Amino acid sequence: MEAGSVAIGLLHQIAAVVGYLAGAIPFGLVLTRLTGKGDIRAIGSGNIGATNVLRTGSKGLAALTLLLDGGKGAAAVLVMTRWGTDPALIAGLFAVIGHNFPVWLRFQGGKGVATSLGVLIALAWPVGLAACATWLAVVAIFRYSSLAALVALAAAPFLSVWSADDRIAVVAALLTVLAFVRHHANIRRLLRGEEPRIGAKKE
């Protein structure tokens, strides 16, 4: 029993490391540098995510960043799924933590929206796709990327309770908390009516 507990604990630690390292890959920064766009951290909001990459003027580059950021979250979950649901959940959570606080960038990363959505799709695709649809609907109506992200991720725990197991709902709730913490400045601007819409040069 003790040996089994140690093995499970080690597996969970491995899942956390795998998730963190996958999530910490700063695709937005790498892609903008490789394509001659400079350091994305010196543009717009300084964020390394797809919304800020869009401010370089390249929709294709922003779309690729979005896919890769989402993909790394999904990949972390899928790699660990073969060892069970708990390792997959841990890997997914730590992928978002890695994106938000990458060691390579002195823990100054993104806001974890695309990575969170990728994690949710890999954990429970109906939940992930419903969250993505919510994001798209809010963006189409209001044109605020931050508002869309907050609404989509806030809906995820409730969607998880309805269509997935309780453990996924807990992880979805933690991802929502992380998103709200990372968007604190955006929330203040939204409340003051000062948040720029998608397409603005500065956040």
pLDDT tens-digit map of 139-175? 999 999 999 999 999 999 999 988 778 899 999 999 9
Per-residue pLDDT at 203: 39
| Angle 46-24-34 from CA coordinates, rounded to 5° | 60
Measuring CA to CA, which residue among 164, 100, 101, 102 is closest to residue 131?
Answer: 164
pLDDT of residue 169: 94
Q: Where are the domains of the chain?
A: 2-192
CA distance 86 to 8: 10
Instruction: Identify the pLDDT of residue 56.
Output: 80
pTM for this predicted structure:
0.91
Q: Residue 20: which of 113, 149, 81, 107 has the closest Cα?
A: 107
Residue 110, token pair as written in the block: 């993104």
Which residues of the chain register pLDDT less than 50?
Answer: 1, 201-203
Q: Looking at the chain, how many residues does it have? A: 203
